[in-house]
């Protein structure tokens, strides 16, 4: 039986990060950390009725920890106009605090890291800042992760150039934060700072932190990161085409990296896009099954 419960990790001044613990019965298999992307939260990875990637992996014996970053999902308090935190805090404070919490609970660092979209940028940024974490991770899987956008598809011009780079700033100035959920631009909101910082990197500007000038690209240039499987969808035209993902792979160190594009033309059951690569019912037969093989190739195999 798959079980779920909510845990909370204290960070910053009065913030509580929500961590959804999803596991099989009393089993305590290898831990998997899940990090969502921008204008999203951890529910991209699960439903309370046990659909999605995290319950799927839990059914195979993995112990899953799905994070809601600061102010998102069930983290407390929700994002408001007075918030000053951004992606730097996610990299330097939130994710390290989550790793410490999981270690205290399970006795080990998470063996596998999984991310959707911008979450993969945050995780590789953690590897750059805290290279000692690399030795604890057997493998990573990133769904539709890119840092900078290089494709010129019309949908990209609409969603990135017009909405994210232009209209979103108007909304932020009006409300003090980006109300992306109300605008139906995503499943959750963003702070002024997190939006501005993500725009900077998406526009192909250097992978450098706007807070303290830390150069992530330089830190990773000659460093081998854990083996990483990059998942792309044939219908993901705007936010993570293979050209965008491959550019991110090129600046993510010297380790093993593979990209697989999922769609009917490649023998898969569905033509996946940026969101349903994680939410479509057929994914368990396509990319979810391939994730199991990736984990088994590089890490410990749980016994259910």
Single pTM value for the model: 0.97
pLDDT above 70 covers a percentage of the chain that reads 99
Q: Are 44 and 116 in contact (CB under 8 A)?
A: yes
Q: And the tokens for 176?
A: 């003090």
Which of 165, 167, 154, 231 has its CA nearest to residue 204? 165
Q: And the tokens for 141?
A: 């899987």
Tell me the per-residue pLDDT of 81-138, one tens digit each, with 9 for 90 and over: 989 999 999 999 999 999 999 999 999 999 999 999 999 999 999 999 999 999 999 9
d(CA 199, CA 195): 6
Helix, strand, coil fractions of the chain, as percent rounded to 5: 40, 20, 40
d(CA 81, CA 175): 6
Q: If you average pLDDT over residues 67-91, what whole number do you get?
A: 97
Q: What b/e readout covers 44-66, taking b as 16+ CB neighbours within 10 angstroms?
A: bbbeeebebbbbbbbbbbbbbbb
CATH number for region 2-298: 3.40.50.1820
pLDDT for the residue 27: 65
Q: Would you list the domain boundaries of the chain?
A: 2-298
Residue 26: band (very low, low, confident or very high) from pLDDT cuts 50, 70, 90: confident
């Amino acid at each position: 039986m798959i079980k779920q419960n909510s845990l909370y990790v204290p960070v910053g001044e009065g913030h509580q990060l929500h961590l959804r613990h999803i596991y099989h019965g009393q089993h305590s298999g290898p831990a998997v950390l899940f990090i969502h992307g921008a204008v999203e939260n951890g529910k991209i990875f699960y439903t309370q009725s046990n659909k999605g990637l995290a319950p799927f992996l839990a059914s195979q014996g993995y112990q899953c920890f799905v994070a809601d970053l600061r102010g998102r999902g069930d983290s407390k308090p929700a994002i408001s106009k007075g918030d000053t935190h951004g992606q730097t805090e996610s990299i330097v404070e939130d994710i390290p605090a989550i790793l410490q919490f999981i270690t205290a609970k399970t006795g080990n660092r998470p063996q596998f890291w999984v991310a959707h979209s911008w979450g993969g940028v945050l995780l590789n940024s953690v590897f750059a800042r805290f290279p000692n974490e690399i030795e604890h991770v057997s493998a990573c899987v990133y769904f539709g992760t890119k840092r900078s956008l290089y494709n010129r598809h019309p949908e990209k011009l609409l969603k990135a150039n017009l909405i994210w780079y232009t209209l979103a700033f108007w909304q932020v100035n009006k409300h003090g934060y980006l109300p992306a959920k109300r605008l139906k631009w995503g499943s959750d909101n963003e702070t002024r700072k997190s939006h501005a910082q993500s725009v900077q990197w998406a526009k192909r500007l250097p992978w450098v932190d706007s807070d303290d000038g830390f150069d992530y690209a330089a830190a990773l240039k000659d460093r081998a990161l854990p083996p990483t499987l990059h998942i792309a969808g044939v219908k993901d035209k705007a936010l993570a085409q293979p050209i965008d993902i491959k550019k991110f792979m090129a600046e993510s160190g010297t380790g093993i990296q593979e990209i697989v594009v999922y769609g009917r033309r490649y023998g898969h059951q569905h033509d996946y896009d940026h969101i349903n690569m994680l939410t479509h019912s057929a994914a368990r037969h396509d990319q979810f099954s391939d994730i199991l093989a990736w984990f088994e190739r590089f890490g410990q195999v749980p016994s259910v």
